[in-house]
Amino acid sequence: MVLEVQSHKSHQQQRLPLVLRKNEDVIVMWINSRDSYGDDDWQHHQQLSDDDIQKSIKELHLLLKHLEIFNTLEQYMNFMSTLGFNEELFIIVSGCSYWLTRVIPALSRLTQLGAIHIFCSQKQKDTDENKKLLFDNDDKVRGVFTDILQICDQLRKDIIRSSLALSKEIKRYVGREDEARQEPTFMYAQLFRDILLEMPSTDESKREMIEFCRREYANDAAQLLIINQFESSYRDSTRAIWCNDKNIALSFARDSLEKLNTVSVILQIEVDIKKCKTPFTNVSHQSEFKHEQEIIFTIGTVFRIKSIEQHISGSFLISLTLNDDEDKELRYLISQMRNSLSTSVPLFNMGHLMFKMGLYDKSERFYQLALNETAIKDNRTALSSVYNNLGMIYDKLENVDKAIDYYKKVVDMALDRKRSGEALENNLTVTYTNIGSLYYKYKNDYDTALEYFNLALELDLHTPTPHQSSIAIDYNNIGMVYAEQQRYSEALEMYEKCLTIQLDLLNLNRPAIANSYSNISQVYRAQGDYKIAIEYLNKALEISLQTLPPYHPDLAKTYNNLSLALYKDGQVKEALEYMKKSMEVNLKTLPSDNRTVVEVRKWIARVEEELLLGQIQM
């Protein structure tokens, strides 16, 4: 049985099936469909009265913070399609032995599954002792339960066990040889912070934030009271007081206490003041708890884990020390990114940063806001850049018509200048490139795409001050067209010209170089040389993991391409692993009905079925 699944929710008070959300990464489900019983089993199950069911719901609700109700098994299956691979699932399932023998093997194959609990009436269990025997060999099945309190107790243990497993994962990072290496997410967080600090604080931005918070906490009287107090009393001069507000701290503490999949942690931090490169200050005089000697560090301060010790109570003591060793490669990337964010318009910079991070919907919003800035409206070059970047966003979102509309705005502005006697600017080559990409990706019109790519190359080669990085992009794009036309030797020639320029100009760990390695690999894959293709893809993946956020679409593409090459090379299990990683990244940035997501989901299901049946086709 294959469970395929899209989002459909209902809040009607019915008993089938129930999904109880703890938080974003732990989900408990109860599948209790009428279709899962034979007539006799259903009669036995009916001994669970409505009161019993409501009591069960109440007990589960005490264990878990949120309750959502779905009406049919189909809705449960649809709900599953909205989940990524980061969530952990704990499933309660009821039904006859025949139905369970079909559904439990399917559930056990779920990547996110933590455990399965079978729930039934006492009489039903007595008349069907085969239930437990059927699943004794499945380590995901915790047992057959007739009391919801037993299940709650087992769930509590399962969730806590999951948390302890997480703590073991943390311990792997203690004492690593690459302690100075920082995640690429850190780079984007630093840039994000810098742009935020440049943004002026306005009454309008404060109002928008307050309205957002009121919507989020519409049913929480205590939070709404704090929001009202913030609206009436927050000023720049009271910022530190609000950062140390006792009520806000307590609200976070209470929320943490309600979460079962968390553990208590005490951080012991050692700081050598002489080595501290970021500001910090003692705020005890403004704190509600003056005896605690509170210190506030600037966002972006980096600490290294020295040791982790677990107390007999289950809480952890984590010793940290200020990390004075910098990741030099990441520091170089940060400086390069800052250079690309050097405009005087913070909204433009934020749009550019969101685009680099692959957050295209957020990037669009910031660029649209930037269009209202005087510094953009009154500067034709800046306005042209915003139009071009919006075209690129709609291109990424596969909204081809909107992308073309914005690219045409750029071309029209450039041609108007040319008619006025002004020289064509370099950004027109970017627009030619982007238009060519649309014909290449969406219209499969490779001749027209090649025409635009050659126009861009011609402009770049004959500009008074040629930019080698732009010329490298032109070679890359022409190579992509040749590859699609199966002109493989010409494609490799273009890709190698591109890579030569990049290696001469750039630091080795740059996304552009990863892209060139990936493109070269695709040519070798198309020619059936899968081992060389895998070699280049591993080079691309190594760079991408060091330079991109963990949810960037380009990372998903690299996982996808590596998976396909491994599959063709006969390494099917490894291929499946990388395709699941691709799906995990895609679900962070794309809707569940996106064409790419649907195709990847089908591929994973097919290969899992091949492995299951032992009928792997090379």
Could you say which DSSP state residue 424 is in? P
Neighbours of 479 (CB within 10 A): 28
Q: What's the average model confidence in pLDDT over 55-78?
A: 61
Encode pLDDT of 530-569 as tens digits: 999 999 999 999 999 988 888 888 999 999 999 999 999 9
Q: Show the domain range for 258.
A: 184-331
* CA gap 148, 151 in Å, rounded: 5
Q: What's the average model confidence in pLDDT over 496-520?
A: 87
* CA gap 301, 273 in Å, rounded: 13
Residue 583 covered by a domain: no
CA angle 56, 61, 66 (to 5 degrees): 140
Write down the pLDDT at residue 491. Answer: 96
* CA gap 600, 560 in Å, rounded: 8
Domain boundary among the residues 331, 351, 385 is at 331
User: Does residue 165 sit in the same domain as residue 190?
Assistant: no
User: Does residue 192 sit in the same domain as residue 123?
Assistant: no
Residue 46 covered by a domain: yes
How far does Cα 415 stand from its chain's mean position?
A: 40
User: Does residue 204 sit in the same domain as residue 167?
Assistant: no
* CA gap 557, 509 in Å, rounded: 18
Encode pLDDT of 145-173 as tens digits: 877 778 777 877 776 666 555 555 555 54
Q: pLDDT grade, residue 575 (50/70/90)?
A: very high
For strand 280-282 and strand 88-93, is the pairing parallel, antiparallel, or unpaired? unpaired
Q: pLDDT grade, residue 204 (50/70/90)?
A: confident
Q: Considering the entire predicted model, what is its pTM? A: 0.48
User: Does residue 29 sit in the same domain as residue 95?
Assistant: yes
104, 109, 111, 113: CA torsion to nearest 10: 20
Neighbours of 250 (CB within 10 A): 12
Residue pair 585/552 in contact (Cβ under 8 Å)? The answer is yes
* CA gap 40, 128 in Å, rounded: 11
The more confidently predicted of residues 23 and 227 is: 227
Residue 89 covered by a domain: yes
Cα–Cα distances in Å, from 323 out to 102, 177, 301, 546? 53, 14, 8, 19
Residue 585 covered by a domain: no
Q: Alpha helices, DSSP H only, in 304-357?
A: 328-340, 346-356
Domain boundary among the residues 331, 361, 392 is at 331
Residue 419 covered by a domain: no
Percent of the chain whose predicted confidence (pLDDT) is above 70: 65
Cα–Cα distances in Å, from 456 out to 424, 436, 451, 513? 12, 9, 9, 20
Encode pLDDT of 411-443 as tens digits: 888 888 877 777 666 568 888 998 999 999 888
CATH number of the domain enclosing 114: 3.40.50
Q: pLDDT grade, residue 141 (50/70/90)?
A: confident
Domain boundary among the residues 144, 171, 198 is at 171
Tokens of 208: 């928008």
User: Does residue 195 sit in the same domain as residue 145?
Assistant: no
Encode pLDDT of 298-323 as tens digits: 776 777 788 887 776 667 788 888 76
Residue 580 covered by a domain: no
The more confidently predicted of residues 176 and 294 is: 294
User: Does residue 23 sit in the same domain as residue 145?
Assistant: yes
For residue 334, pLDDT over 80 is answered with no
User: Does residue 52 sit in the same domain as residue 161?
Assistant: yes
- Report the mean per-residue pLDDT for the chain: 76
User: Does residue 206 sit in the same domain as residue 324?
Assistant: yes
Write down the pLDDT at residue 113. Answer: 79
Residue 468 covered by a domain: no
User: Does residue 71 sit in the same domain as residue 150?
Assistant: yes
User: Does residue 218 sit in the same domain as residue 245?
Assistant: yes
Q: pLDDT grade, residue 73 (50/70/90)?
A: low
Residue pair 563/575 in contact (Cβ under 8 Å)? The answer is yes
User: Does residue 102 sit in the same domain as residue 235?
Assistant: no
For residue 104, pLDDT over 60 is answered with yes
Residue 597 covered by a domain: no
Cα–Cα distances in Å, from 363 out to 107, 212, 216? 38, 19, 23
The more confidently predicted of residues 530 and 508 is: 530
The more confidently predicted of residues 276 and 481 is: 481
User: Does residue 26 sit in the same domain as residue 97?
Assistant: yes
Total domain count, the chain: 2
